[in-house]
Amino acid sequence: MKRLTIVIYIVCVVLVLDALAWVTWHTVNLERRERDATRSATSANELALALWPLDEQANTIIRREASRPYFQFSAFYPAGRPYSEMWRPVGPEDRVVASPLFTEAAEFVKLHFEVAGGVVTSPQVPARERWVEIAQTLWDLIRERESLLYELEPLVADLSPPPSDWMPREGISQSFQQDYDIRAQSAERSRLVETVEPRVEVGAMVPFWVENPSDGTPELILVRRVSINKEERLQGVWLDWPTLEQSLLASIVELFPLAVLRPVTTDAPPDAAMLASIPAMLVPGDRPIASSPMLSPARRSLLVTWAAVIAAIGAIGIVLRASMSLSERRGRFVSAVTHELRTPMTTFCLYSQMLADGMVRDESTRDEYLQTLKRESERLAEIVENVLAYARLTQKS
């Protein structure tokens, strides 16, 4: 019986602890998933907040360059002519003025250039002769990317803005897609195709990357097609990407102090960190993760539950042990009382039977038997009195 009780107690303890461990495991996992989801949502919101100023600043530059008239890409041009006639050669009667690109240095721009008939010219040649050779090198790279440039032809033919989303959009969540689409619409407005009279058609400024052969670093350029009297030429802007990147990242240094902008030169599907204005991806970098409290409300509840269950198991074990010990003591007591009663009762029965049957005829022997019976009866009375006293003490306790 004792062994069975112990086995039942152990089985119950194992079942209770196993159930509590299962609840603890699921609760901790649920808390971890909720914490990760909250952290992911916070990071996503911060990423969206960071992309807006980046796209806004980049769109400002693109709008500025896209709004430049086509004739400003010449170092000098005649003043006073109609807009659509500025492409004609300068005559003796024309008053010539210098291009603003010749007299002013645009921020974040290394060079403005124009490619006509395979020849690269720049309105900034007098001021920046050292960039001419580099511009020629860029033209060689542009020719290598001829397939990319040919993608602009239908945009010019239809006189419609080029798609600002130049890569597939599969694989991006709906919320990121909506955010990207809004920023992409802003980028489209920065690169709107400008249409003048049929003799002059100006396409959209499209950003893309070329590799600098001197050091292999990517260079960001803006290029648009210009059709003048059905003669096509390219007008472009070579941006100072390191300086521009530093300026862009400075606007989000509070959100992402270790962020970098990674050029996207492949056709891989972009993710939510893709800028809508230029083909670049924001890499937030490592950020210190806010440590979660060691004792969250759920964990405090689990800790209290574990303490209560362990205390209950211990208390039940103590009570069970005391009960079993009491049962053992009662058993020993009953056995001792039974043993104490058996001897006098045996003597009492034997002597009384002998006296009743007249087997003791000697008076002295009979008196001895009677004295023995008296002693045993007193002994029985004392034992019974002790048992009753023990019973009274047990009831009081």
The predicted-structure confidence for 35-44, as pLDDT tens digits, reads as follows 888 888 888 8
Q: Angle CA(276)–CA(280)–CA(286) in degrees, nearest 5?
A: 115
Buried b (16+ CB within 10 A) or exposed e, 189-219: ebbbbbeeeeebbbbbbbbbbbeeeeeeebb
Q: What is the mean pLDDT of residues 142-165?
A: 39
Is 110's pLDDT higher than 60? yes
Name the CA radius of gyration of the chain, rounded: 50
> Tokens 């299962």 belong to which residue?
22
Question: Are 164 and 180 contacting, i.e. CB atoms less than 8 angstroms apart?
Answer: no
pLDDT-derived band at 184, boundaries 50, 70, 90: low
* Structure confidence at residue 145 as a pLDDT band (50, 70, 90): very low
Which residue bears the tokens 């000098």?
Answer: 76
Under 8 Å between Cβ of 54 and 275: yes
Give the model confidence (pLDDT) of 273-317 as tens digits: 888 888 898 888 776 665 666 677 888 888 999 999 999 999 999
| Contact of 188 with 164, CB cutoff 8 Å | yes
Short-list 119, 118, 117, 123, CA closest to 97: 123
Q: Is 159 helix (H, G, I), strand (E, B) or coil?
A: coil
Region 219-237: mean pLDDT is 87
The DSSP code for 274 is B
- Of 201, 193, 189, nearest to 83 by C-alpha is 201
The amino acid at residue 307 is: A
Instruction: Quote the CA–CA distance of 165 and 369 in Å, as a whole number.
Output: 124
If pLDDT is split at 50, 70 and 90, which confidence band does 172 have? very low
How far apart are alpha carbons 108 and 61 in whole angstroms? Answer: 8
Residues 52-65 have pLDDT tens digits of 999 999 999 999 99
CA distance 55 to 165: 13
- Please report which confidence band the pLDDT of residue 336 belongs to, taking 50, 70 and 90 as the band edges: confident
Q: At a CB cut-off of 8 Å and minimum separation 6, what does 247 contact?
A: 57, 108
67 phi and psi angles, rounded to 5 deg: -85, -5
Give DSSP secondary structure letters for 102-155. Answer: HH---TTEEEEEEEETTEEE-TTTTT-THHHHHHHHHHHHHHHTHHHHHTTHHH
**Dihedrals phi, psi of 62, to nearest 5 degrees:** -65, -40
Question: Which contacts qualify for 104-107: CB closer than 8 Å, 24 or more apart?
Answer: 106/64, 106/65, 106/237, 107/61
Can you list the domains of the chain with their CATH numbers? 31-283 (no CATH), 297-396 (1.10.287.130)
**What angle is formed at CA 186 by the lines to CA 160 and CA 37, rounded to 5 degrees?**
130
In the chain, the N- to C-terminal Cα span, in Å, equals 26
With a CB cutoff of 8 Å and minimum separation 6, the contacts of 30 are none
- DSSP letter at 69? -
Among residues 372, 313, 369, the alpha carbon closest in space to that of 344 is found at: 372
What ranges make up the beta strands (E) of the chain? 76-79, 95-98, 109-116, 119-121, 194-195, 200-202, 206-211, 218-228, 231-239, 260-263, 280-283
Min mean pLDDT across 86-90, 94-98, 187-191 is at 187-191
Q: How far is CA 143 from CA 64, 241, 397, in A?
A: 26, 21, 105
